[in-house]
Amino acid sequence: MRWDALFDDLEGRFEAEERLDRDAEIADRTRQERGAVALLTRVAAHRGVLRVRLMTGSAIEGTVADLGSDWLLLQSPDGHRELLVPISAVLAIEGLGPRSALARTARRFPLRSALRGIARDRTPIRLHDLAGSVTTGTLDVVGADFVDVAAHALDEARRTPNVLAQVTIPLAAIALVEGRA
């Protein structure tokens, strides 16, 4: 009889230690899994509006329309603007949930390729740089590490008489490329 109580006590202690070990292992695995999650996979899983604070000190809002290997495309809440954001220009993202998803990160091409598509389309853009300056016009050239913008008013076509300047901007200095949806 006495030994039954002793063995019950030992079994209880053993089970408690097993639970603690298992809980510690689960916590460790969870930390490791969270440590392997990339920012864009969390953005990919998000539904709804995000607020993105940029290195310029400004903030933009929108829903995720597309993602690339180093960029994200937001649709403005009013649906009139598309906002192409290099991840390198993001300071913080507000409203992002804890989930992650690989499925929506299907576009593996970099920002440079996305900019080449915009240049081919000849769509007028507003290019915000990291210093907060804005250049409006048309992307003429997308090089290995720079873009050339033919600066002109957004409501004017890219014609030689309308071009005010040719502006070269390093890719690393781009904070936001804004276009009409």
Q: What is the mean pLDDT of residues 129-152?
A: 97
Phi-psi region of 150 (alpha: psi -120 to 50; beta: other; left: phi over 0): beta
Average pLDDT value over all residues in the chain: 88
- pLDDT value, residue 28: 66
List of domains in the chain: 39-180 (2.30.30.100)
pLDDT the model gives residue 19? 84
What are the tens digits of pLDDT across the range 76-109?
A: 999 999 999 999 999 999 998 877 766 555 577 8
**Residue 153 tokens, joined:** 């008013």
Number of neighbouring beta carbons within 10 Å of residue 11: 10
What is the band of 34 on the pLDDT scale with cuts at 50, 70, 90?
Answer: low
Looking at residue 45, its pLDDT comes to 85
Q: What is the pLDDT of residues 47-62, one digit of tens each?
A: 889 999 999 999 999 9
- Out of 39-43, 46-50, 89-93, 129-133, pick the least confident: 39-43
pLDDT value of residue 31: 63
pLDDT band per the 50, 70, 90 thresholds, residue 39: confident
